[in-house]
Structure 1
Amino acid sequence: MVYHSQFNDESAGFRLVGNVPILPLKTTHKGPAPKGDANSVDIIDEALDLFKANILFRNFEVQGNGDRVLIYLTLYITKCLLKIAPMNKADAEKALFLIAQEQFSIPGESAFPLGGLVTVPNTRDAADTLRQYFTQLRLELGVRLCQRVYAVDPSKANKWWICFSKRKFLNKAL
């Protein structure tokens, strides 16, 4: 059984861009996401906690808008793990920062892998907001992923994280 996001509750009142919620984040990176409570779990913590279980599934039934962000972050974690596998922590942090800043596709562009799951933003401003939000997510996820993958030894990545890097979630990749 696949694990779903706790942010699927529609009544929580999260701002939506298309059908992607702008969820609160515990981050110092600038972006459209509101500040999250430092003592609570945010979507990035949730994605990292559920990654090892969810990566094993080929199907994922979306039960709410929070699941869309969870799917995107799971695919991004896979991409990051592939990149940082042979690196030490300092090099991995630099590489993940660069990956987060590089040009990437958003809903509505042909290269976006989740075309059927995420609706296209209806205005240019909405598309820019979504790009900024995804960049903010990618930056913060890179920082937290390095903290977890290199928690034991900063000179090499934890094999219990890297072993999941070659798995394909939903048979897709970013």
Structure 2
Amino acid sequence: MFFGVIKEQLSDDRVQFCQIKLRKTEAVTLKMSYPSAPGQDSKNSVFVNTGDKVVGSIPLLKIRDTSKKATTPAFDIVDECLYHFRTNIFMRDFKIKSDADRLLIYLTFYAMKCLKLIAKNKNDKAKCAKEIQGWNLNPFPVPGDAGFILASLITTEVKPQEKAELLGYFKQLRIETGNRLLDIVFANGTEADKWWICFAPRKFMDKEMAN
């Protein structure tokens, strides 16, 4: 009888331990999960604690590859940038709360440059696409390079062996942002949406991306 009670108690303890372990696992999974929608605060990214690698103060967040008709992640930081774009371009300063905020700011600069290129050929989507693609063929700086537009916000040194990884990642970001912006601006047909083009003359944070 005594051993039976001990055995039953041990069994209950194991169950309780497993339940605690499961709850911890669920908490970690929840913490590391990707957001599925933009937040209400346009100035700060929702992509916090995603568990992605960080290089040069920039998180290498997962990006949906629309050229391959990828469906995951269903919502990414490119979507977040374009969703908040027409609000954020009026902002003059941003308080960095996470590494993803730097990426959000960079993409806003880049989207603004794309919008300026689109405004020059607002009746020809194909020509706009060529303009953006041609501009992207030029060398562009990444964190750690002279001329990087967010150089003052980069707090972590970029190692030489990390440059190639950053360059590939930023290239993907720029391609996706340009393509998705084109689809949004020309969503109603062959002429660019005037409620987007009207923002083209503006400068974001009193700056303009050179390359």
> Do residues 44 (structure 1) and 82 (structure 2) align?
no
**Contact 1:14–1:23 (CA under 8 A) maintained in structure 2:** yes
> Do residues 6 (structure 1) and 29 (structure 2) align?
no
The residue type equivalent to 1:140 in the other structure is E
Superposition map of 1:73-92 within 5 A: 73-87=107-121, 88-92=124-128
Identical columns (%) = 39
Corresponding residue of 1:164: 199
The residue type equivalent to 2:149 in the other structure is P
Higher relative contact order (CA 8 A, sep 6+): 1
Q: How far apart are residue 29 of structure 1 and its match?
A: 6.1
**Contact 1:29–1:139 (CA under 8 A) maintained in structure 2:** no
Corresponding residue of 1:139: 175
The residue type equivalent to 1:160 in the other structure is W
Q: How far apart are residue 160 of structure 1 and its match?
A: 0.8
Residues in 2 aligned to 1:120 and 1:105: alpha-carbon distance in whole angstroms: 16
Residues in 2 aligned to 1:150 and 1:18: alpha-carbon distance in whole angstroms: 35
**Contact 1:108–1:119 (CA under 8 A) maintained in structure 2:** no
> Do residues 16 (structure 1) and 54 (structure 2) align?
yes
Tell me which moved more, 49-58 or 115-124: 115-124
Q: How far apart are residue 109 of structure 1 and its match?
A: 2.4
Bigger radius of gyration among the two: 2
Corresponding residue of 1:148: 184
The residue type equivalent to 2:59 in the other structure is P
CA RMSD in angstroms, aligned pairs only = 2.0
> Do residues 129 (structure 1) and 165 (structure 2) align?
yes
> Do residues 118 (structure 1) and 148 (structure 2) align?
no
Residues in 1 aligned to 2:185 and 2:154: alpha-carbon distance in whole angstroms: 29
Corresponding residue of 2:102: 68
Residues in 1 aligned to 2:145 and 2:171: alpha-carbon distance in whole angstroms: 16
Stretches of 4+ aligned residues off by more than 6 angstroms: none
Q: How far apart are residue 132 of structure 1 and its match?
A: 1.1
Q: How far apart are residue 120 of structure 1 and its match?
A: 5.5
Q: How far apart are residue 36 of structure 1 and its match?
A: 6.8
* C-alpha spacing 1:65/1:51, structure 2 compared with 1 (3 Å): same
> Do residues 95 (structure 1) and 135 (structure 2) align?
no
Considering fraction of residues, name the structure with more helix. Answer: 2
Residues in 2 aligned to 1:2 and 1:43: alpha-carbon distance in whole angstroms: 12
Tell me which moved more, 53-62 or 163-172: 163-172
Which sections of structure 1, spanning at least 5 residues, go unmatched?
Answer: none
TM-score by length of 2: 0.72
The residue type equivalent to 1:25 in the other structure is I
Residues in 2 aligned to 1:94 and 1:121: alpha-carbon distance in whole angstroms: 35
Name the count of aligned residue pairs: 166
SS for the counterpart of 1:107 is coil
**Contact 1:149–1:158 (CA under 8 A) maintained in structure 2:** yes
